[in-house]
Chains A and B, each alone.
Chain A
Amino acid sequence: MSYILRRLGTMIITTALSVVMIFFVFRVIPGDPAIIILGTEADEAQIAALRSQLGTDRPVLEQFVTWASSTLRGDLGISLRFNRPVAEMITSRLRVTAPLAIYAITLVVLVSIPLGVALALIRTKTVNLAFSYLSQLGMAVPSFWIALLLMSIFGVGLRWFPLGETVDWERDVAGSLRALTLPAVAIALPAIAIVTRYVRSGLVDQLSQNYMRTALSKGLSFYRAVYGHALRNALMPVTTVLGILFADIVAGTVVVEQVFALPGIGLLLVTAVNYRDFPLVQGIALYIALVVVVLNFVVDLLYRVIDPRVRLHKPA
């Protein structure tokens, strides 16, 4: 229990520190939101009017106090660029990013774990070579290129999947899955290459361990030895990788979102940074910090599920 409390404390401090840091770092880099929003055609009067409307003409410390106190009250403020509540914008983006992340990570798990196991068990020369090439290809090909390729083949050529559509998953689950399939595959493909490698090499490593020989010699079937012991151990590092990948996707997949024109968190963050939209950047930073911290915690809990020997609290 005290572990959970201590852990909660660290989580809050980590989140707060990262958000405060981003607040000040962001004020140091050049770029004035009013100038950026209005572009080259603005006259001075328009810029001054917008600055005072946005409140960016006030001292930084004053802006920090205003921002910190309202954030603590649960109010993330109004986006400078879009003139809408930050909290509302982030939640609306989650309606795209969350299903996309779950879809993509499901694909990764469903493909790479069986594939990794199969590749660990079938280690002929040809298979090893083919896997080595394919996985390197999967990791090396940039995701925007995969995205464009998927769009021209399955969107323009075959017309199996609609392009440029987002369907609300609360209204139409099948339609939403269909619209998200190409982006999910584009995100999942490189991830599959990485995770499969982890599963395979982890399992290969475990298979040669002494306990496996012991298990087999005491009469345990190969199947039970692999799935009951070796895979369990091999999955420990895979869980960590999956956790990081998931956090990555939930924090926004900038490139894939941009290429598919999906209104997700990543696209919002890039725009927020480009336009020096301070409240929006802060809001998304807070969200990402929370996601990473919480996911780390979840991964720690998962360790315990996979390997009951893992203790959550360090011995004193």
Chain B
Amino acid sequence: MSLRISHTNRTLVLAASALSVMLASCALPSPPPARTAPEGATAQQPAAPAQPTRLVMRTLTDPDNLDPHLSAASLTQQIMLNVFEGLVKPAPDGSVVPAIAESYTVSEDGLTYRFKLRPNVRFHNGQPLTAADVAYSLNRLMGKGTPDGKPLTASLNDVERIETPDDSTCVITLKQVNASFVNLLSTLAIVPAANDGKHDKEPIGTGPYRFVSYEPQQRIVLEKFADYWQDTREMIDQVEFRIIKDDQTALLQLQSGAIDFTGVSAEQIETLGNAFTIVSHPANSVFIMGMNHARPPFDKLEVRQAIYHAIDRDAIIKAVFDGYAVKLGSNMSPVMAKYYQDGLQDRYPYDPERAKALLAQAGYANGFTTTLSISSHADIYGRTAQLIVDQLARVGIQATIETVEFGVWLERIYTNREFETTLIDFTGKMDPQAVLGRYTSDFRRNFINYKNPEYDKLIEQALRATDEKTQVERYKQAQKVLTEDVAAIFLLDYQFNWAMKPTIQGYTPYPIFFHDLSRLRLKAG
């Protein structure tokens, strides 16, 4: 079997409807109605062609690490995917497309991947990229040749060895078939071997933008990389990511002209009127209410089913997200069209009577008390929790909200699994394995203690499948199992709403956290 990456094989294709950028009714403004620009500003001479173009975008928090191999935060990826590339890279439709490798072939047994590197790829320091840099980067991730020899990620555990027969070829041999392997490579950065020991201070990649500077709690500045392997002439010259934690502040700064782009909440869209373009798209997130299966009464299927019937997801979507969300029934967003099992969202409709009956069946006719532990770092948890507590009370379950700091949440609930129920949203991944693998019994972050050998088997079969049909089928079956078992209360996938100056064009949503700067253009305004 041999295939080229650029084919749509082994890619996930997004539903056209899901991807189509939905512009809010007020969007696509005709020339911006005279904004309160200071007098004289509009009467300027047309900018000289040499004038560099500049954009200020808001980001929510500091990067967790500038070294791409040590970073795990989605918000860091959102920015740094512009700086770093893998052998392949993500495409807006959720597929992977060639990046540093211009093509690859897979051996008959699915174990050997031969990557042909693109000629003339340069690092931001001007050095040409060679197969040695690819081998260095992947080996570093696997902990080979590093001081303590520990792997920096578990993603490459299936890799047996990496060979570089010549400067433009890289051969990767796997221990066992891994259907997600190419997907994994799309976010594993190739960095120059010559920069060893400095990746976190002076990050160097091959992407369309190079890293210029980072000031903690203030800004990250990127600049267009003129020697990129694709034409960069149309791209914006300099992009500053301003770190602004507070949403209201970001909105005011957008209105005052201090920044050009920010994420906004559904209710803020109305405040903005039609002076800004709004781009809304599904986040490919999975927002769940997790129940600890190791603690009674959540070990009982009827109790979990009762809770699902007791919770009114439509009310949550309306009250917390102003309608900007879609209902889920399993741990996958419809954005993942190819793998998504439709219909599960209707398996447990809102039905308090049915919930009460199920509770009685489980021996909890009088309900029970529980604690809903949530993190304080985003207000969607608190607002959703209040609705859920109210809805649960109607079927006799007395839940108390316990709000903890995100740091405590990560340690006590997510790592040590000391909780009864909680709320969390998983951010988008392109790889179905990354999305569904969370619920296998041996997964280290299976914090809800869900265990089902049948589920484990399905996921393993999907991962080791050599044909795509089997793979897709297993992932769909796996979603059904999660729903039947009520592994968690799968609530919804919310939307991202981006507000930007009307002069910004080409904003392209991805099913993962990624502001693709290479597609942005500034229209003379």
Interface size on A, residues (CB 8 A): 47
Interchain CB contact (< 8 A) of B249 among A35, A48, A50, A260: A260
Complex contact A41–B427 (CB within 8 A): yes
Complex contact B252–A31 (CB within 8 A): no
CB within 8 Å of B: which of A27-56?
30-32, 35-46, 48-50, 52-53
* Interchain residue pairs with CB less than 8 A apart (10): A32-B407, A36-B410, A40-B445, A41-B72, A43-B155, A89-B216, A152-B252, A155-B256, A162-B256, A163-B256
Complex contact A45–B249 (CB within 8 A): no
- Binary per-residue interface labels of chain A (146-181) against chain B in the complex, 1 for a CB within 8 Å, 0 otherwise: 001001100110010011111000000000000000
Within the assembled complex, what's the spacing in Å between the Cα atoms of A243 and B310?
56
CB within 8 Å of A: which of B398-444?
405-408, 410-412, 414-415, 424, 426-427, 444
Within the assembled complex, what's the spacing in Å between the Cα atoms of A159 and B38?
8
Given contacts A31-B405, A263-B217, whether A159 and B150 have CB atoms under 8 Å apart is no
Within the assembled complex, what's the spacing in Å between the Cα atoms of A159 and B258?
11
B64 at the interface (CB under 8 A from A): yes
How far in angstroms is the closest Cβ of chain B from A88? 10
Complex contact A274–B405 (CB within 8 A): yes
B404 nearest in chain A by CB position: A30
Complex contact A163–B258 (CB within 8 A): yes
B155 nearest in chain A by CB position: A43
Interface size on B, residues (CB 8 A): 52
Interchain CB contact (< 8 A) of A40 among B70, B253, B410: B410
How far in angstroms is the closest Cβ of chain B from A207? 45
Complex contact B70–A261 (CB within 8 A): no
A268 at the interface (CB under 8 A from B): yes
Complex contact B216–A52 (CB within 8 A): no
B74 contact set on A, CB distance < 8 A? 39, 41
B150 contact set on A, CB distance < 8 A? 45, 48-49, 52
A52 contact set on B, CB distance < 8 A? 148, 150
Given contacts A36-B406, A39-B72, A40-B426, whether A162 and B217 have CB atoms under 8 Å apart is no
A76-84, A115-123, A288-296: which lies at the B interface?
A: A76-84
A191 contact set on B, CB distance < 8 A? none
How far in angstroms is the closest Cβ of chain B from A274? 6
Within the assembled complex, what's the spacing in Å between the Cα atoms of A156 and B38?
12
Complex contact B217–A268 (CB within 8 A): yes
- Binary per-residue interface labels of chain B (130-156) against chain A in the complex, 1 for a CB within 8 Å, 0 otherwise: 000000000000010000101111110
Within the assembled complex, what's the spacing in Å between the Cα atoms of A46 and B76?
15
Interchain CB contact (< 8 A) of A261 among B153, B245, B412: B245
B307 at the interface (CB under 8 A from A): no
Within the assembled complex, what's the spacing in Å between the Cα atoms of A276 and B408?
10
Given contacts A155-B252, A263-B217, A263-B218, whether A39 and B152 have CB atoms under 8 Å apart is no
A239 at the interface (CB under 8 A from B): no
By a beta-carbon cutoff of 8 Å, the part of chain A in contact with chain B is 30-32, 35-46, 48-50, 52-53, 81-84, 89, 148, 151-152, 155-156, 159, 162-166, 258-261, 263, 267-268, 271, 274-276
How far in angstroms is the closest Cβ of chain B from A261? 5
Given contacts A163-B253, A275-B407, whether A43 and B153 have CB atoms under 8 Å apart is yes
A267 contact set on B, CB distance < 8 A? 217
B405 contact set on A, CB distance < 8 A? 31, 274
Complex contact A164–B248 (CB within 8 A): no
Which interface residue of A52, A148, A155, A156 has the most chain B CB atoms within 10 A? Answer: A156
Q: Which 4 A-B pairs have the closest CB atoms?
A: A31-B407, A42-B72, A164-B258, A38-B72
How far in angstroms is the closest Cβ of chain A from B59? 12
Interchain CB contact (< 8 A) of B152 among A32, A49, A159, A260: A49
Complex contact B407–A45 (CB within 8 A): no
A274 contact set on B, CB distance < 8 A? 405-407
A255 nearest in chain B by CB position: B246
Given contacts A41-B73, A49-B150, whether A164 and B64 have CB atoms under 8 Å apart is no
B155 contact set on A, CB distance < 8 A? 43
B62 at the interface (CB under 8 A from A): yes
B477 at the interface (CB under 8 A from A): no
B80 at the interface (CB under 8 A from A): no
Complex contact A45–B153 (CB within 8 A): yes
A39 nearest in chain B by CB position: B73
Which interface residue of A42, A162, A263 has the most chain B CB atoms within 10 A? Answer: A42
CB within 8 Å of A: which of B376-416?
405-408, 410-412, 414-415
B242 at the interface (CB under 8 A from A): yes
Complex contact B444–A259 (CB within 8 A): no
Complex contact B411–A258 (CB within 8 A): no
B424 contact set on A, CB distance < 8 A? 40
B36 at the interface (CB under 8 A from A): yes
